[in-house]
């Protein structure tokens, strides 16, 4: 018959030793994976930065106009830096997933499975946002040019408004993809936008009625008069 | 080709068989003026080409003001008061809607196709809103083709000093500089050309581009010069249009004409890079002094447009203008009234840098062309202020001087063009 001492102290210690023998190698493996992954991510960042610099990536992005946006964030030194850090983050992410999977606990396996299932949504949302940036830029530039060529004084305001509108739409669609409630954002935007338009209409129509009439009259008169007398071709 | 000819038109053309001269008149809601043009052309054909078989073809863009009826009902040319000799062949008349993108170029394409089908020796095209056309215009544009072996006859008009500023400020000096022929009105609107050149035009696949619209005139001129066709000019006197040209919005007109010119620079790069000087183009007709309609120009509005453009479009300009050009532009443009001035060198550099950026697609091509409109208005205002007190001859000398600057700065264009090409090639592996 086993003594009370064995049951109170030796058995729990043996059980703890058994469990530790099972968990410690896993913990060590996770730790080593994270260290190696971190190192690989750092190397990937350096290599990507070098490659992008060699390929004159900064110059290329400068032409698209994204450079100024990146500068304005104050986080990244250059488009190449942004690209390199993005690659680093990706390597890190996969390292963490690999480590969690290697841990082989029910919770970590479930977490990895859920994340993998979520990846298509993340990609779709990212693409929607990228497309939104490109389209908003294109449309706002078209609006700016049309407004400047029509000699509207608030040309930049109009272009900015168009950009915000398109980007808001893109963000709402991206949030939908991520299954994050986008309705409150959409409603808030609609309320604010409608409010601004209504306020402007009231201000222009009531507050500056005479000015509005004169402006429209002048607009019609000068455009007709100039079309009639001036030939450019 | 079949899609260009509705069954009705084809059977009419089969009835006609062959023709020596085709006179094409593109139209869109020109019922008010086209009758006069058809009458002048009819008289011109009967008077100057009585022995030739001729066809007057109205290529219409879907007018809703009975333009086509006016064409068919306009009086013919057999008027004893106007004719010295009577025609052996009566001229045929066709009025047909054209197919394709609505625009002058699509209307011309139908005319080229009819000329090809009827094996015409010479073609003449005239605008349908002309008030100053005379029967002699038909002779001046067609005879050099029929009897002197020319392939392309551009018009030469007397114009008001403020008129035709895209021609004077960009198209004429650039055509002369790049292609070496001093065609004074390369986008005049009235042209004579040979049947073989019409066939060459038809072979080109450009009918979904701006050539189908206002780009047609410069495309015809540059194609004729660059492909080695024999080119001349005809003195027509004054050009007076109807007051309003439907759809003639400056931005789209500018975009179509200048965009077509820049596209042609890409196509004929190997031609213009070899040209180092220009030569005079033979002129037919007897030059005479004519009175031109007075024009008023609102320079304040143009200056304001340029200043607003420089302020609001700086980001776009910095994508295709060099830093030096941008700095110079800013310093010159932000002056008002008589102090406002855009020097020739600056203007030439802006155009050359824009052409280079267009070629290498530094920014969206449509955006680039639209952004040039305020700069063009600024340059036009500067020109108007400069020649306010000048007579016609002095203005012509001024335009000649601008042409010389375009020519002397051509190495700058070539250098920019080639450098941008290499840079692009270098950046491609990304």
Q: ipTM of the assembly?
A: 0.85
Find all residues with CB under 8 Å of B261, minimum gap 6, and list them: B170, B171, B174, B215, B218, B222
- pLDDT tens readout for residues A135-166: 998 999 999 999 999 988 889 999 999 998 89
Q: How far is it, in rounded angstroms, from Cα B114 to Cα B296?
A: 41
CB contact under 8 A, B253 and A141: no
Chain A with chain B: Cβ pairs closer than 8 A: 85
Residue the block writes with tokens 């609006």: A143
**Chain B residues touching A142 at Cβ < 8 A:** 367
User: What is the per-residue pLDDT for B429?
Assistant: 38
Measured between CA atoms, how close is A148 to chain B, in angstroms? 6
Find all residues with CB under 8 Å of B209, minimum gap 6, and list them: B215, B260, B263
Measured between CA atoms, how close is A45 to chain B, in angstroms? 17
Q: What is the mean pLDDT of residues A79-89?
A: 91
- pLDDT tens readout for residues A93-103: 989 988 888 87
User: What is the CA B387 to chain-centroid distance, rounded?
Assistant: 24
Structure-block tokens of residue B374: 């305020």
Find all residues with CB under 8 Å of B53, minimum gap 6, and list them: B16, B18, B19, B20, B21, B89
More confident residue, B416 or A208: B416
Q: State the pLDDT confidence band at A17, using cuts at 50, 70 and 90.
A: confident
Q: How far is it, in rounded angstroms, from Cα A13 to Cα A15?
A: 5
- pLDDT tens readout for residues A24-68: 888 888 899 999 999 999 999 999 999 999 988 888 777 666 776
Show the low-confidence residues of chain B (pLDDT under 50).
245-247, 427-430
User: What is the per-residue pLDDT for A168?
Assistant: 87
CB contact under 8 A, B164 and A57: no
Number of domains in chain A: 1
Sheet holding B191-194, edge to edge: B92-97, B54-60, B21-27, B122-125, B191-194, B152-158, B231-238, B283-284
Measured between CA atoms, how close is A222 to chain B, in angstroms? 9
Measured between CA atoms, how close is B430 to chain A, in angstroms? 6
Neighbour tally for A25: CB within 10 Å? 10
CB contact at 8 A, B174 and B351? yes
A59 touches chain B (CB under 8 A): yes
Find all residues with CB under 8 Å of B2, minimum gap 6, and list them: none
Q: Using CA coordinates, name the residue in chain B closest to A227.
A: B244
Measured between CA atoms, how close is B427 to chain A, in angstroms? 6
CB contact under 8 A, B304 and A148: no
Q: How far is it, in rounded angstroms, from Cα B65 to Cα A165?
A: 42
A218 touches chain B (CB under 8 A): no
The residues that bridge with B55 in the sheet, in sequence order, are: B22, B92
Closest CA to B370 of B300, B304, B420, B312: B312
A137 touches chain B (CB under 8 A): no
CB contact under 8 A, A228 and B371: no
The whole-model pTM stands at 0.81
Q: Which domain holds residue A79?
A: 1-104
**Chain B residues touching A227 at Cβ < 8 A:** 244, 248
Q: Using CA coordinates, name the residue in chain B closest to A158.
A: B312
A228 touches chain B (CB under 8 A): yes
What's B2-284's CATH class?
Answer: alpha beta
CB contact at 8 A, B124 and B23? yes
Select, from the ranges A164-173, A199-208, B252-261, the one with the highest average predicted confidence (pLDDT).
Answer: B252-261
Q: How far is it, in rounded angstroms, from Cα B223 to Cα B107?
A: 18
**Chain B residues touching A229 at Cβ < 8 A:** 295-297
Q: Which residues of B204-222 are buried (b: 16+ CB within 10 A; e: fewer)?
A: eebbebbbbbbbbbbbbbb
A20 touches chain B (CB under 8 A): no
Q: How far is it, in rounded angstroms, from Cα B395 to Cα B388?
A: 9
Residue B90 CB-half CA count within 13 A: 7
Measure CB to CB from residue B427 to each of A59, A148, A156 and give the nearest one: A59
A60 touches chain B (CB under 8 A): yes
User: What is the per-residue pLDDT for A99?
Assistant: 87
**Alpha helices per DSSP H over chain A:** 4-5, 11-54, 57-64, 66-73, 79-103, 106-149, 155-177, 183-202, 209-229
Cα Rg of chain B, angstroms: 22
Measured between CA atoms, how close is B161 to chain A, in angstroms? 11
Measure CB to CB from residue B319 to each of A60, A63, A227 and give the nearest one: A63
User: What is the per-residue pLDDT for A225?
Assistant: 45
Q: Which of residues 142-161 of A touch B (CB under 8 A)?
A: 142, 144-146, 148-149, 151, 153, 155-156
Measure CB to CB from residue B253 to each of A145, A229, A233 and give the nearest one: A233
Q: Is the dihedral of CA B353, B358, B360, B364 positive or negative?
A: positive
CB contact under 8 A, A228 and B373: no
A229 touches chain B (CB under 8 A): yes
Residue A11 predicted with pLDDT over 60: yes
CB contact under 8 A, B297 and A230: yes
A226 touches chain B (CB under 8 A): yes
**Chain B residues touching A68 at Cβ < 8 A:** 315
The percent of residues above 70 in pLDDT, for chain A, comes to 83
Residue A177 counted as domain residue: no
Q: How far is it, in rounded angstroms, from Cα A5 to Cα A14?
A: 13
User: What is the per-residue pLDDT for B374?
Assistant: 95
CB contact under 8 A, A229 and B295: yes
Where do the structural domains in chain B lie, given as residue ranges? Answer: 2-284, 299-427
Residue A9 CB-half CA count within 13 A: 3
Q: Using CA coordinates, name the residue in chain B closest to A140.
A: B367
Q: What is the mean pLDDT of residues A215-222?
A: 61
Residue A187 counted as domain residue: no
Measure CB to CB from residue A232 to each of B165, B370, B429 and give the nearest one: B165
């Amino acid at each position: 018959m086993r003594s009370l001492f064995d049951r109170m102290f030796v058995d729990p210690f043996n059980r703890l030793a058994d469990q530790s023998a099972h968990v410690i190698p896993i913990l060590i493996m996770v730790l080593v994976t994270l260290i190696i992954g971190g190192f690989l991510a750092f190397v990937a960042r350096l290599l990507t930065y070098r490659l992008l610099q060699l390929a004159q990536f900064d110059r290329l992005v400068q032409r698209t106009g994204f450079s100024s946006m990146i500068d304005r964030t104050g986080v990244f030194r250059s488009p190449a830096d942004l690209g390199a850090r993005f690659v680093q983050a990706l390597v890190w992410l996969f390292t963490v997933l690999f480590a969690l999977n290697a841990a082989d606990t029910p919770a970590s396996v479930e977490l990895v499975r859920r994340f993998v299932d979520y990846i298509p949504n993340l990609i779709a949302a990212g693409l929607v946002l990228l497309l939104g940036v490109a389209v908003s830029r294109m449309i706002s530039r078209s609006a700016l040019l049309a407004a400047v060529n029509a000699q509207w004084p608030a040309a930049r305001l109009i272009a900015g408004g168009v950009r915000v509108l398109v980007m808001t739409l893109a963000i709402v669609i991206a949030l939908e993809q991520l299954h994050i409630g986008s309705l409150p954002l959409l409603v808030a935007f609609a309320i604010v936008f409608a409010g601004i338009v209504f306020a402007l209409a009231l201000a222009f129509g009531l507050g500056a009625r005479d000015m509005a009439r004169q402006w429209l009259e002048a607009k019609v008169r000068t455009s007709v008069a100039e079309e009639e007398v001036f030939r450019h071709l | 080709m079949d899609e260009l000819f509705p069954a009705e038109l084809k059977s009419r053309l089969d009835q006609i068989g062959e023709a020596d001269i085709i006179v094409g008149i593109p139209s869109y809601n020109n019922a008010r003026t086209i009758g006069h043009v058809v009458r002048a052309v009819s008289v011109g054909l009967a008077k100057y080409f009585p022995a030739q078989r001729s066809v007057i073809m109205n290529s219409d863009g879907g007018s809703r003001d009975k333009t086509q009826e006016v064409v068919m009902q306009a009086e013919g040319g057999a008027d004893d008061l106007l004719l010295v000799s009577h025609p052996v062949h009566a001229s045929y008349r066709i009025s047909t809607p054209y197919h394709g993108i609505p625009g002058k170029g699509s209307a011309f394409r139908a005319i080229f196709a009819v000329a090809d089908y009827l094996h015409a020796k010479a073609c003449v095209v005239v605008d349908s809103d002309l008030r100053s056309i005379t029967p002699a215009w038909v002779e001046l544009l067609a005879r050099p083709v029929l009897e002197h072996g020319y392939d392309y006859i551009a018009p030469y008009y007397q114009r008001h000093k403020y008129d035709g500023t895209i021609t004077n400020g960009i198209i004429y000096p650039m055509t002369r500089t790049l292609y070496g022929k001093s065609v004074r009105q390369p986008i005049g609107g009235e042209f004579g050309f040979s049947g073989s050149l019409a066939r060459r035009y038809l072979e080109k696949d450009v009918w979904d581009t701006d050539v189908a619209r206002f780009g047609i005139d410069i495309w015809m001129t540059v194609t004729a010069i660059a492909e080695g066709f024999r080119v001349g000019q005809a003195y027509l006197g004054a050009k007076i249009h109807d007051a309003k040209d439907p759809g003639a919005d400056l931005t789209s007109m500018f975009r179509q004409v200048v965009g077509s010119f820049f596209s042609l620079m890409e196509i004929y790069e190997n031609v213009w890079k070899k040209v180092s000087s220009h030569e005079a183009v033979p002129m037919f007709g007897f030059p005479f002094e004519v009175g031109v309609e007075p024009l008023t120009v609102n320079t304040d509005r143009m200056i304001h447009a340029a200043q607003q453009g420089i302020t609001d479009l700086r980001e776009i300009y910095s994508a295709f203008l060099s830093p030096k050009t941008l700095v110079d532009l800013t310093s010159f443009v932000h002056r008002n009234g008589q102090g406002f001035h855009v020097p020739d060198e600056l203007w030439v550099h802006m155009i050359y840098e824009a052409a280079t950026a267009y070629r290498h697609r530094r920014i969206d091509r449509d955006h680039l062309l639209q952004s040039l409109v305020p700069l063009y208005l600024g340059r036009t205002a500067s020109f108007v202020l400069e020649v306010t007190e000048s007579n016609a001859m002095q203005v012509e000398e001024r335009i000649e001087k601008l042409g010389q600057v375009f020519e002397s700065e051509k190495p700058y264009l070539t250098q920019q063009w080639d450098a941008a090409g290499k840079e692009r090639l270098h950046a491609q592996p990304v």
